[in-house]
Amino acid sequence: MKKALVVYFSASGITAEVARKLADTLQTETFKIAPVKPYSDEDLDWTNGNSRSSVEMRDMTSRPDIVDIKAPIADYDIIFIGFPIWWYREPSVVDTFLEQYDFKGKTIVPFCTSGGSGIGETSKRIDTLTGNVAKVDAGKKFSVSVSAQELKTWAEQFV
Ligand SMILES: Cc1cc2nc3c(=O)[nH]c(=O)nc-3n(C[C@H](O)[C@H](O)[C@H](O)COP(=O)(O)O)c2cc1C
């Protein structure tokens, strides 16, 4: 059996809940992507074009600093990476994370939560951000109420 790690970013706890369930069903570890400056409610206000998230997400080169860049990626074969959809893609703090590591030979499996949007072109973006050295799955969107069984059935194709 291949070794899987569940990495996630979550601003308001929904993706964190799915990540926890996924890690439970796989009986594996989680690694949380934490921004140095946590996102406040004002930062997350997508109705305000000047909010931190709006400014960051408009700028494709934005890479907010993250706390811990010592995720044990080298020790795992499969990296599940979860995030909320922000403006139809992965938050830029996830881009910061992805650019820190060597994913050569790994399988990266994105998963997301959202208010309704799908996972979009995120898989292609992740492939580019990691230098086209990993096998990047198309990924999947889940609702917070996803059952452990559904997560297990989905995840088992990779492990
Ligand atoms: C800045 C921002 C942008 C968002 N953009 C989208 C979007 O484009 N499409 C969508 O369906 N939901 C969008 N959402 C909603 C989140 O994806 C959704 O609430 C998600 O489940 C939150 O996960 P979290 O609790 O792990 O942060 C956005 C939320 C925020 C804060």
CA distances from 95 to 53, 55, 73, 82 (A): 14, 15, 15, 12
What does CATH list as the number for 4-155?
Answer: 3.40.50.360
Q: Is the pLDDT of residue 142 over 90?
A: yes
Instruction: Decide: 92 in ligand 1 pocket, CB within 6 A.
Output: no
Beta bridge partners, 84, equal 113
Residue 68: its pLDDT value, please?
Answer: 86
Q: Is the CB of 85 under 6 A from ligand 1?
A: yes
Assess whether the C-beta atom of 87 lies below 6 angstroms from ligand 1: yes
**Whose CA is closest to atom 8 on ligand 1?**
87
Name the residue with the closest Cα to ligand 1, atom 29.
Answer: 86
Domains of the chain by residue range: 4-155
How far apart (Å, rounded) are the C-alpha atoms in residues 90 and 93?
8
pLDDT per residue as tens digits for the range 21-39: 999 999 999 999 999 999 9
At residue 83 the predicted structure's pLDDT band, cuts being 50, 70 and 90, is: very high
The residue contributing the CA closest to ligand 1 atom 6 is 86
* Cα 142 from Cα 18, distance rounded (Å): 8
- The average pLDDT across 3-25 equals 98
Mean pLDDT within 70-82: 97
pLDDT at residue 69, as a whole number: 84
Structure tokens at 145: 């109420």
Query: Given the CA of residue 13, which atom of ligand 1 is nearest to it?
Result: 25
Q: How far lies 14's CA from each of 69, 107, 127, in Å?
A: 23, 24, 25
